[in-house]
């Protein structure tokens, strides 16, 4: 029972179904490398069916009043909570993350669903005073239209729910390309929405070859908005395609968060908070702290503390409640970790702990701490997306700001200081969509999430998370002619 896993079908026009060509893709448990199931592989014929369903459903759904939409989202949120242990179990089997993290993700996704449903009741327009007494001017919010969403494997539900929840709450329909590495938990999310009463065609779920699906959906005239979460390189490709076809875009892309420890910080507390945060989801988090920049006066203590936290991680199968860090989600990440580490060593870096694959079954990689990593090492420039922690000393405020802002990324940044003046100064100096001071920040539904520069544009969550799926329409009327 603990390891049971069912195959995943496509969800099109309110029906769970195999792909028309009956093609499938294998799903692998990253902790065991065993094929545990299959998912249906959509091709153009399936996408055409989803496009036609989304097109028809949009006309009806956009005219359902927001109170009715809110009730459906609220029910979906409650179903997610009721089913949370089973969905978390499925997520851990196909993704690898510790069961507690899976459970927290399902509950956060329920909260996101609630929030977006509630926000749909507050999608206010405005009355604008006119220059004539017999003319009134009104700005109303309208759903943008059918959406194509592309969501990744690192948070199988938490990424998809921002797109599905935002679109559905706003009155849009959506075709979501779920994560091929972790299809079944994402399908459980869609099931909760369907069981809550989302009408047929409003949500359509497909899997397949990502480029084949995006190249077909993005230019398609039915689709009016693109929302993508994933790497910067793919995001730039999709954004340029969307631009060519004049489609609205939200891009949640990669990050390379600096974590700055100033000389006046409590180093023991800071290292506990930030090092444990590093290993959440095995570091496969776009807002993961990545470049640790520590004032020289605390450097040695911080490195020692980080090594202790790293060595205390229990790396293993996420189903074991003692596990604090699971395997990487797929073999590409394992190859990437080996590449990043050997590249850094070749350029003079020192491994303080970890640095290699753990065991020879499952995609486990040791929590790794490195020092003396030069700025031309690949891990200091590309998103490592794994359990690697390069730690570098700094001397002055200006020097650390320069390093923090050196990269084209700008998603999240962390700082630790006991001076409110430094906190204020660093928050305004950092080029980043999110700045977190004295805490290992975790996404919360009430505030916007997103980056600047190469980390993308547009926001999810917060009031912006609904706005992203709506457009303003201006209506003006003269009382008579």
Q: How far is CA 26 from CA 16, 36, 40, 100, in A?
A: 18, 8, 9, 26
Choices 52-60, 152-160, 267-275, 350-358; region in contact with ligand NAD by CB under 6 A: 152-160
Beta carbon of residue 386, minimum distance to ligand NAD (angstroms, whole number) = 8
84 or 284: CB nearest ligand NAD: 284
286 catalytic? Reply is yes
Of 439, 461, 440, nearest to 450 by C-alpha is 461
Among 11, 70, 115, 153, binds ligand NAD (CB under 6 A): 153
What six digits make up the tokens of 296? 């020289």
Residue number closest to ligand NAD, CB atom: 230
Which pairing describes strands 34-40 and 24-29: parallel, antiparallel, or unpaired?
A: antiparallel
Residues 169-228 that bind ligand NAD (CB under 6 A): 179, 210-211, 214
Q: Kind and range of the H or E element at 436?
A: strand 434-437
| Rounded Cα gap, residues 449 and 464, in angstroms | 9
Among 143, 146, 201, 254, binds ligand NAD (CB under 6 A): 254
User: In this structure, are residues 363 and 96 in contact, taking their beta carbons and an 8 Å threshold?
Assistant: yes
Among 302, 365, 385, 449, binds ligand NAD (CB under 6 A): 385
Of 436, 421, 357, 448, nearest to 33 by C-alpha is 357
Beta carbon of residue 434, minimum distance to ligand NAD (angstroms, whole number) = 13
Asked whether position 281 contacts ligand NAD by CB under 6 A, the answer is no
256 or 352: CB nearest ligand NAD: 256
Choice among 181, 188, 286, 467 that is catalytic: 286
Among 253, 341, 391, 413, binds ligand NAD (CB under 6 A): 253
Number of residues that bind ligand NAD (CB under 6 A): 20
Asked whether position 467 contacts ligand NAD by CB under 6 A, the answer is no
What six digits make up the tokens of 466? 């609904």
| Rounded Cα gap, residues 177 and 276, in angstroms | 31
User: In this structure, are residues 157 and 105 in contact, taking their beta carbons and an 8 Å threshold?
Assistant: yes
Choice among 101, 119, 181, 252 that is catalytic: 252
Beta carbon of residue 212, minimum distance to ligand NAD (angstroms, whole number) = 8
Among 78, 231, 276, 438, binds ligand NAD (CB under 6 A): 231
Choices 11-19, 69-77, 127-135, 251-259; region in contact with ligand NAD by CB under 6 A: 251-259
According to the 3-state scheme, what is the secondary structure of 375-406? CCCHHHCCCCCCCEEEEEEECCHHHHHHHHCC
- E-strand ranges in 81-210 read 126-128, 135-143, 147-150, 174-177, 203-206
Beta carbon of residue 183, minimum distance to ligand NAD (angstroms, whole number) = 11
Choices 10-18, 146-154, 274-282, 433-441; region in contact with ligand NAD by CB under 6 A: 146-154
Beta carbon of residue 217, minimum distance to ligand NAD (angstroms, whole number) = 9
Of 247, 176, 222, nearest to 58 by C-alpha is 222
Asked whether position 332 contacts ligand NAD by CB under 6 A, the answer is yes
| Rounded Cα gap, residues 425 and 433, in angstroms | 16
Among 223, 286, 404, 412, binds ligand NAD (CB under 6 A): 286
Which pairing describes strands 10-12 and 15-17: parallel, antiparallel, or unpaired?
A: antiparallel
Residues 73-132 that bind ligand NAD (CB under 6 A): none
Among 94, 105, 119, 252, binds ligand NAD (CB under 6 A): 252
Q: Return all residues near 205 (Cβ < 8 A) that are at least 6 apart.
A: 10, 11, 12, 175, 176, 178, 186, 187, 190
Choices 18-26, 112-120, 231-239, 288-296; region in contact with ligand NAD by CB under 6 A: 231-239
Burial of 56 (0-12, 13-18, 19+ CB in 10 A): middle
88 or 253: CB nearest ligand NAD: 253
Among 29, 92, 102, 154, binds ligand NAD (CB under 6 A): 154
Beta carbon of residue 284, minimum distance to ligand NAD (angstroms, whole number) = 7
Which pairing describes strands 225-229 and 470-478: parallel, antiparallel, or unpaired?
A: unpaired
Phi, psi of 124 (to 5 degrees): -70, 145
Beta carbon of residue 237, minimum distance to ligand NAD (angstroms, whole number) = 6
User: In this structure, are residues 8 and 39 in contact, taking their beta carbons and an 8 Å threshold?
Assistant: yes
DSSP assigned state of 228: E
Asked whether position 448 contacts ligand NAD by CB under 6 A, the answer is no
Asked whether position 150 contacts ligand NAD by CB under 6 A, the answer is yes
Phi, psi of 255 (to 5 degrees): -140, 175
Choices 104-112, 114-122, 151-159, 415-423; region in contact with ligand NAD by CB under 6 A: 151-159
Q: Which residues are catalytic?
A: 252, 286
Residues found near ligand NAD in the complex (CB under 6 A): 150, 152-154, 179, 210-211, 214, 229-231, 234, 238, 252-254, 286, 332, 383, 385
């Amino acid at each position: 029972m603990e390891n049971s896993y069912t195959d995943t079908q496509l969800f099109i026009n309110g029906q769970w179904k195999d792909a028309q060509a009956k093609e499938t893709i294998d799903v692998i448990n990253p902790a065991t490398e065993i094929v545990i199931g299959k998912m249906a592989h959509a091709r153009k014929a399936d996408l055409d069916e989803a496009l036609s369903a989304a097109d028809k459903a949009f006309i009806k759904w956009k005219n359902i009043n927001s109170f009715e939409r809110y009730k459906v989202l609220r029910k979906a949120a409650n179903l997610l909570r009721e089913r949370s242990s089973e969905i978390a179990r499925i997520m851990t089997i196909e993704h690898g993350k510790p069961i507690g993290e899976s459970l927290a993700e399902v509950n956060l996704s329920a909260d996101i669903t609630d929030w977006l449903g509630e926000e749909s009741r507050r999608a206010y327009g405005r009355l604008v005073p006119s220059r004539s007494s017999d003319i009134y001017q009104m700005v109303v919010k309208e759903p943008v239209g059918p959406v194509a969403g592309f969501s990744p494997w690192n948070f199988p539900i938490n990424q998809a729910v921002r797109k599905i929840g935002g679109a559905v709450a706003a009155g849009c329909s959506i075709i979501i390309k779920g994560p091929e590495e972790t299809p079944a938990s994402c399908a459980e999310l869609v099931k909760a929405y369907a069981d809550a009463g989302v009408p047929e065609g409003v949500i359509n779920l497909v899997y397949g070859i990502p480029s084949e699906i995006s190249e077909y959906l993005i230019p398609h005239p039915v689709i009016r908005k693109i929302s993508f979460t994933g790497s910067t390189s793919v995001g730039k490709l999709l954004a340029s395609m969307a631009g060519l076809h004049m489609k609205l875009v939200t891009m949640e892309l990669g990050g390379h968060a600096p974590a700055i420890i100033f000389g006046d910080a409590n180093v023991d507390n800071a290292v506990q908070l930030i090092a444990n945060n590093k290993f959440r989801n095995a570091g496969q988090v776009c807002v993961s702290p990545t470049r640790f920049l520590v004032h020289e006066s605390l450097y040695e203590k911080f490195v020692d503390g980080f090594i202790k936290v790293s060595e205390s991680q229990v790396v293993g199968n996420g189903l074991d409640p003692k596990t604090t860090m699971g395997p990487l989600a797929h073999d590409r990440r394992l190859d990437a970790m080996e590449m990043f580490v050997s590249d850094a060593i070749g350029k003079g870096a020192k491994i303080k702990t970890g640095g290699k694959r753990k065991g020879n079954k499952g995609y486990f990689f040791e929590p790794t701490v490195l020092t003396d990593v030069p700025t031309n090492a690949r891990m200091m420039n590309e998103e490592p997306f794994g359990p690697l922690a390069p730690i570098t000393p700094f001397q002055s405020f200006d020097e650390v700001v320069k390093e923090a802002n050196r990269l084209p990324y700008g998603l999240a940044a962390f700082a630790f200081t006991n001076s409110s003046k430094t906190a204020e100064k660093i928050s305004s100096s950092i080029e980043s969509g999110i700045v977190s001071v004295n805490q290992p920040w975790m996404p919360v539904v009430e505030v916007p999430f997103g980056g600047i520069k190469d980390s993308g544009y547009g926001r999810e969550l917060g009031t912006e998370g609904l706005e992203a799926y709506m457009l303003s329409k201006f209506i003006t009327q003269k009382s008579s002619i």
